[in-house]
Chain A
Amino acid sequence: MTGLAGVSGALTIVLGGIGALFFLAGTLGMLRLPDFFCRTHAATKCDTVGAGSILIALAIFNGLEVSSVKIVILAALILLSSPTAGHALARAAHVTGLEPWTTPRKGRQE
């Protein structure tokens, strides 16, 4: 009893910490990266991995109940919808003519 609860609690803390780290990375990327395409690179990763990992941690903590099934459905929804939304945003930016950010190359004439 206590062993199983300890394992699920440790898994919850580890997965929640991983998700928090990914959210922090996504926020830093949102604030610091120079371009929309770079930002969507950071943000989509933060959404999928961070939210998915935290939600799976909460489902493990909740145990075998109906609400755990709902949390897993929510995680699946995020894993499906967040990359799709990021892709649609990047496509809209590309179609409307947003130029990607590039650095000038050294020692090469283009």
Chain B
Amino acid sequence: MDAFFWGLAIFLLVNAFACLWRAYAGPTIVDRLLAVNIVGTKTLVVLVLLTLVFGRALFLDIALVYGLLNFVVTIVATRFLETGRLKGDW
């Protein structure tokens, strides 16, 4: 089963690098934000796969923090893009 997990992790890493090209070359800033969001999700799944392969439960907590940070970063960046400020009303 470890071979399947390794294959899945490498496949997801290749996909993440392909999405990273969109983050580099995206014509608008929301394209880049979307690409970074997707790379973050793939990294999270790879972290959970590495948890099962290496048998370390610590990586799972890192994956949880990664998911929360990914969400918060996207929401804050879109808010800043919409309103132009980070405090006050929406």
Contacts and interface: CB of A to CB of B under 8 A. Distances in A.
Contacts of A20: 8, 11-12
A85 B60 contact: no
B76 to A, nearest CB: 10
B73 to A, nearest CB: 9
Q: Which one of A20, A40, A70, A74 has the highest number of Cβ atoms from chain B below 10 Å of its Cβ?
A: A74
Contacts, number: 128
Interface residues of B, number: 41
Given A89-B37, A95-B82, 19 more contacts: A13-B4, A27-B19, A30-B22, A30-B34, A39-B31, A47-B37, A74-B64, A77-B64, A78-B67, A82-B41, A84-B71, A84-B75, A85-B71, A86-B34, A88-B78, A91-B78, A93-B30, A96-B81, A98-B30
Interface of B: 1, 4, 8, 11-12, 15, 18-19, 21-22, 28, 30-31, 33-35, 37-38, 41-42, 44-45, 48-49, 51-52, 57, 60-61, 63-64, 67-68, 70-71, 74-75, 78-79, 81-82
A-B complex: 9 closest residue pairs judged by Cβ atoms: A81-B71, A92-B78, A85-B74, A88-B78, A27-B15, A93-B30, A92-B81, A92-B82, A47-B41
